[in-house]
Amino acid sequence: MKQIIEILRLKYEAQLSHEKIARACQLSKGAVSKYVSLARAKGITWPLPEGVDEAALEALLFPAKAKPARFVQPDCFQLHQELKRKGVTLQLLWAGYVARHGEQAYRYTQFCHHYRAWRDRQKRSMRQQHRAGEKAFIDYCGPTVPIVNRHTGEVREAQVFVGVLGASSYTYAEATWTQSLPDWIGSHQRMLKFFGGVPELLVPDNLKAAVTRASRYAPKINDTYAELAAHYGTAVLPARPCKPKDKAKAEVAVQVVERWILAKLRHRTFFSLAELNAAIAELLVELNRRPFQRRSESRCDLYEALDRPALKPLPADDYEYAEWRKAKPGIDYHVEVDKRFYSVPHALVGQVLDLRITATTVEVMHKGKRVASHARHGQGRYSTDTAHMPKSHQAHREWSPGRFMNWAADIGPCTAQVVKQQLEDRPHPEHGYRACLGLLNLAKRYHPTRLEKACERALAIRSASYHSVASILKQGLDRLPPEDENSSQGELPLHGNVRGAGYYH
C-alpha cells in the first residue's frame, strides 16, 4: 500500500509522467497505469480522503470477495463437551458431522482447524480437559453463615462445603458446623448421594481433615479419608500446595455458590443448621438449572448427558465413620482410648498398633490384620479378653475364694479349714491365693487322704500354713498318731534354752 500511496502523490502532486513514476518506484509503466486507473475508478485522488490509512485504502481498492456459505459450521461448544467423554476423538466427531451434512461438511483438516480456532479464542488460562465421571473437586467457601441460638441468642458460624463434578460443573453445597474430620467425611457421603454415583478421583484442598502431610509429590492422606475412598471405590488426589489452578473447578464453584446462594441469603436469619441447609438446597436446584452464559445448556443438562452415565454406582452399604489412631500397649497389654483401656495379645507389647475407632467398637490392627475387637462403651474402665493374657495371668484370673473352698471341701474338712485360714488371715483374699495354689500342688504329689491328715496335724499344732503342711508330708508325720507326737514332746530334756512362763515376768 505504501507504493500505491507514493504513486498517487507523484502523479497528482508532483505531476510526473507514468514513465518517471515507474523509474522512481522501480515498477513497470503498466503497473503504474493499473494502480492509477484503479484509484480513479474508486474516486481516489491526492490528497487521500481524511481518515483513510493503508488498511482502509486496501479495503477500498481490493475488497474481499465473499465466499459462498455452502459449508455448515460445526458446533464447537458441543464438540468440546463431547470430547470429555471416554474414547471420543475429533476423527469420530467429524465422521458424525459428515454423516449429518454430507457435501456441506468441511473436510477433516478444516473441521479440526475451526474447532481449534474456537478453542484458542476462549479465556486465556491453564485449561484442563475434564473427562466425564473422572473428577470431583472439593473445597470450602471463605465466608461463613451465622446461626443464632433461639434460646440464648448465641451466634455460631457455619462452614459451607462445596463439591463439583469436572465435566459438567454440576454443583453440591451444604453447611456444617466445622471443617473437622467427622463433618468432612459426612459431607462427602451426602455429596456422593447427591451425585448419584462415584467419580474416579476426589480432588480436595490440603486441609488437615484430608491430608495429614502436604507434599507436592507424595502427600499423606488421612487414614479415615483413605478408608472412605476405598469403601466407595475411588481415589484421593489432593491439589498441589499453593497451586489453586489444580482445582480451578472448585474455585469457580465456590465463587458461584457465594454469589448465587450465600449472597441471596445474606439478609435472612437462621436458627438451626437444618434450616440453613434447607435454604441452600432450594437455591442449589435453581443454580444447577440456570443456563451457562451465552449457551442454552445448564449444569443439570450436562450432568445428565455426561457425568451421570459415567459415574460408578454407589456401594450397597453406607460407609461407617471410623477414626484411626496409633497406640503402643504398656506392660499390662492394654491400649488407652478416651481414658478407657482395651486389651491386645500380650505378644504385641511394645509394638505400635493401629486403632480403628467407630461409634460402637474399638478394633486393634497389626500390619493390616485385626488382632482385637472390643465394645467401645462397656462396664468399667478396663475391657480385657482372657485370650490376650499370658497363661500364668489366665490362671490367676481364674482364681477365686469360692473355687479354692470347693476344692478343699472335696478333700476333707481339715483341708477346708486350712484353706479358709489362708484366705481369712490376709488383708485381701488374693494375698492367700499363692498359699492355696501350693496346697493344690501338694494334692498332685500326695494322696488326698495324706493331705487331709497333714492338715489335721497342722491344725492341732496351730500351724496351719503351707510350709507346715508341706513339712509334715515330707517328714511323713501325717502317718503318726497324735499321741506319739505328745509322748515325744514329753521326752525332751530340760536345758537353759527352754524358757518357761516365768521368764517373761
Instruction: Return phi, psi of residue 291, to 5°.
Output: -65, 150
Query: Can you give the pLDDT at residue 487?
Result: 47
CATH-assigned architecture of domain 135-310: 2-Layer Sandwich (3.30)
Query: Can you give the pLDDT at residue 426?
Result: 65
**Beta partners for residue 163, in sequence order:** 138, 172
Query: Can you give the pLDDT at residue 485?
Result: 47
Query: Can you give the pLDDT at residue 395?
Result: 64
Query: Can you give the pLDDT at residue 55?
Result: 73
- Maximum CA extent, the chain: 173
**Pick from 345, 346, 338, 379: nearest CA to 362:** 338
At 49, the amino acid letter reads: P
Query: Can you give the pLDDT at residue 488?
Result: 46
Residue 450 CB: number of other CB atoms within 10 A?
17
Name the pairing type of β-strands 382-383 and 340-343. parallel
Give the span between the Cα atoms of 160 and 139, in whole angstroms.
Answer: 9
What letter would DSSP give residue 103? G
Residue 105 CB: number of other CB atoms within 10 A?
19
Query: Can you give the pLDDT at residue 172?
Result: 95
Each residue's pLDDT tens digit, 43-81: 777 777 776 776 777 777 767 665 555 788 899 988 888
Each residue's pLDDT tens digit, 264-315: 898 899 999 999 999 999 999 999 999 988 788 899 999 999 899 999 999 9
The residue with cell 469457580 is 252
Under a CB-based contact definition with an 8 Å cutoff, are residues 345 and 391 in contact? no
If you compute the radius of gyration of the chain from its CA atoms, what whole number of angstroms results?
A: 48
pTM of the complete model: 0.55
- 2-61 adopts what CATH topology? Arc Repressor Mutant, subunit A (1.10.10)
Q: Which residues of the chain have pLDDT under 50?
A: 126, 485-489
Each residue's pLDDT tens digit, 269-281: 999 999 999 999 9
Where along the chain do its domains lie? 2-61, 76-120, 135-310, 323-392, 399-490
CA 204 to chain centre: 9
For residue 20, what is its C-alpha cell? 518517471
Instruction: Return phi, psi of residue 358, to 5°.
Output: -105, -175
Name residues whose C-beta falls within 8 Å of residue 2's C-beta, 6 or more positions apart in sequence: 54
